[in-house]
Amino acid sequence: MTTTETIRAAAPYLRSWVEFQAAHRRVPGVQVAIRSGDELVLSAAVGVADASAAVPLTTGHLFRIASHSKTFTATAVLQLVESGRMRLDDAIADLVPELAGSAVAAVTVRELLGHQSGVLRDGEDADFWTMKEPFPDRDALLAAVLRAGRVHARNEHFKYSNIGYSLVGLAIEAVTGTSYAAHVRTAVLEPLGLRATGAEYDPARAGEYAAGHSGLLFGETTRETLGHIDTRAMAAATGFYSTAEDLAEYGAAHFLGDDRLLTDDSKRIMQRLESVVTAYGTEVGRYGVGMGLWTVGDRNLVGHSGGYPGHITLTLIDPVGKLVVSVLTNAIDGPAEDLAVGLVKLIDVALKPRAEVAPPPADPPPLGSFTGRFASLWGVVDVAEVGGRLVLVRPTATDPLPTVEELEVVDATTLRVAAQPSFGPAGELIPLERDAAGRIVSLRLGGVTSRPIDDYRRRRTGFPGNA
C-alpha cells in the first residue's frame, strides 16, 4: 500500500484512540483532521461543543486557534517580501511611524516573527486573557509598547511576544493600505478556499463556534462554559478561528513543492531553525520564523499551537513527508499536543513495524476478527489493525508509543506478543476465547484475563476485600 492508503486504513483506529483519550481525560470535545499528501484521510469530532447544553461537537464547529494566527501573519509577510513590498530587515518604526524614537524602533520584522525582538509578551495589564476586559485597540497597543515595550535587547533572548506579532499586523496594514483581516482573507484564505477560517471572531457566525470550557481544578468534575471576545489589535497574534479540516488544507500549503501561497525559498525561511529555547538549562522548544519546530521520531515537523480562553489547539506539518495532523480541543486544559503528537506516532507505527514478527499461518483469519478494546482491573488494552498488522496499544497512556507491541497471529484463538527485551509479557502467547458468533469474549495477556469493556463493567463489582 502507498503511504496514504496505509494511513487511510489506520484512520478508524486513530479516531477510536482519540475518542478514548478524550473520554479518559474528560475533555469536552476534540476535533481532529489528518491529511496525507492530497487526501484528507480523517476528519472527526468527538464529545460536545457545549458541555452545559450537551450540544454534540461536529467537524463544522469553529474553534479559536489563537497563536496559529502567527503562521498566517508570517505567511502574509513572506508573500509581501516576495512581491518586494516589505523586507524582513525593515525596522518596525519605518512601517509604524508612531514607534519612531522608542526603545523598540530598530527592531526588525524578522526579529518580531522569530520572537527575538525583546518586546514584552502581552503588556503590563493582560487581564484580557481572563476575559475581564477587552483586548487592546490600536491606540492602546501602541501606548503599551511606548510605555514599557522593551524587556530585552534585540537577539539577547528568545522572548515569545504576542505584542510583537500585533505590531507586525500593524505593519501589514501600513504596507497594504487595508485592514489586517481583509488582507489575510484575500492573500491567504481565499486562494485555499478556507471558508471556515477568519482572522477575528465573527459575531455573524456566533452559532457556529464551539464554546470554550474552563479547566478542571482542585478535583472539580464540572467546567464553566466560556464565550468569545474580539482580540482587536492583537488579531495578528491570536485572533484566528478555524476548523481542523481547514487547518489540514492550510498546512498542506506549507508542504515543499506546493506553490499556492509561497515559494519553497520562503517556506524554508519560515521552517528552518532560528531559536533553540533553553530555560534553566533545559530545552523547552524550538522556533523558526512564524512556526514552531518539533521532532517526532524521524519526522521534522513545523506548525503552531494555540491557547485561547477555553481552547487549546495544535497543528503539526511534515513539509517533506506531506502529513498534517490538526487537533483542536475546547477546554483550557485540553491535551492538544499530547493527542497530535500521539497521532503522529501511531501513524508511524502503521507505516513501519516496530519489530519483526513471524509470518501468519496459512489461510489466516481476517485481522479484523482479532481487534477490540479490552479491560481488566489493571487497565485497558487495544488490539488494533494498522499497516496490515496487529498491534497492542494501551489507550490510556499519554504517550502511546512506549505501549505499542507487535502481535503475531498463531491461529484463530491465539496471538503472541513479539519477542523483545521487556518487563512485560513479550514473547508470550495471548489465548483468546470466542463466542458462537466468533466474537472475542476474553483474552489473557500475561495470564490476566481482559474482557470487552462493557462486559468488564458488568463483572467488576464484588472483588475480594470490598466491603
60 found inside a domain: no
84 found inside a domain: yes
Q: Are 105 and 92 in contact (CB under 8 A)?
A: yes
Residue tagged 489575510 (cell numbers): 184
458 membership: H or E segment, kind and range: helix 453-459
How many CB atoms within 10 Å of residue 3? 15
3-class secondary structure, 67:
coil
Residue tagged 530598530 (cell numbers): 106
Closest CA to 211 of 47, 358, 323, 339: 47
Instruction: Give all strands (DSSP E) within 338-438, no chain letters.
Output: 372-376, 379-386, 389-393, 405-411, 414-417, 429-434
- DSSP notation for 318-361: ETTTTEEEEEEESSTT--HHHHHHHHHHHHHHHHS-SS--PPPP
Residues 6+ away with beta carbon under 8 Å from 7: 34, 36, 41, 323, 347, 350, 351
384 found inside a domain: yes
3-class secondary structure, 415:
strand
266 found inside a domain: no
348 found inside a domain: no
Handedness of CA 165, 107, 276, 252 (dihedral sign): positive
Q: Are 112 and 93 in contact (CB under 8 A)?
A: no
Q: Could you list the residue range(s) of the whole structural domain that residue 124 is in? A: 71-176
What phi and psi values does residue 350 have, to the nearest 5 degrees?
-65, -35
pLDDT (0 to 100) of residue 463: 64
65 membership: H or E segment, kind and range: strand 63-66
Among 150, 176, 202, the domain-final residue is 176
Among 176, 197, 212, the domain-final residue is 176
151 found inside a domain: yes
Sequence-ordered alpha helix ranges (H) in 177-254: 180-184, 190-192, 235-238, 244-252
**Rounded distance, CA 280 to CA 392, Å?**
38
All three cell numbers of 168, joined, read 507586525
Q: Tally the domains of the chain.
A: 2
| pTM of the predicted structure, to 2 decimals | 0.97
CATH of the domain at 423: 2.40.128.50
Closest CA to 172 of 160, 182, 161, 162: 182
Taking every pair of C-alpha atoms in the chain, what is the biggest distance, in angstroms? 83
CATH of the domain at 145: 1.20.58
433 found inside a domain: yes
All three cell numbers of 185, joined, read 482573507
Residues 6+ away with beta carbon under 8 Å from 305: 67, 68, 292, 312, 313, 314, 336, 337
431 found inside a domain: yes
**Rounded distance, CA 425 to CA 429, Å?**
8
| Mean pLDDT per 10-residue interval, the chain, length 467 residues | 97 98 97 98 98 96 98 98 98 98 98 98 95 96 97 97 98 98 98 98 97 92 94 98 98 98 98 97 98 98 98 98 98 98 98 92 92 96 97 98 97 96 95 97 97 92 60
Residues 6+ away with beta carbon under 8 Å from 253: 192, 260, 261, 262
Among 154, 176, 198, the domain-final residue is 176
pLDDT (0 to 100) of residue 467: 47
Sequence-ordered alpha helix ranges (H) in 357-427: none
Q: How do beta strands 311-318 and 299-308 pair? A: antiparallel
DSSP bridge pairs for 185? none
CA quadruple 163, 166, 170, 173: dihedral, nearest 10 = 180
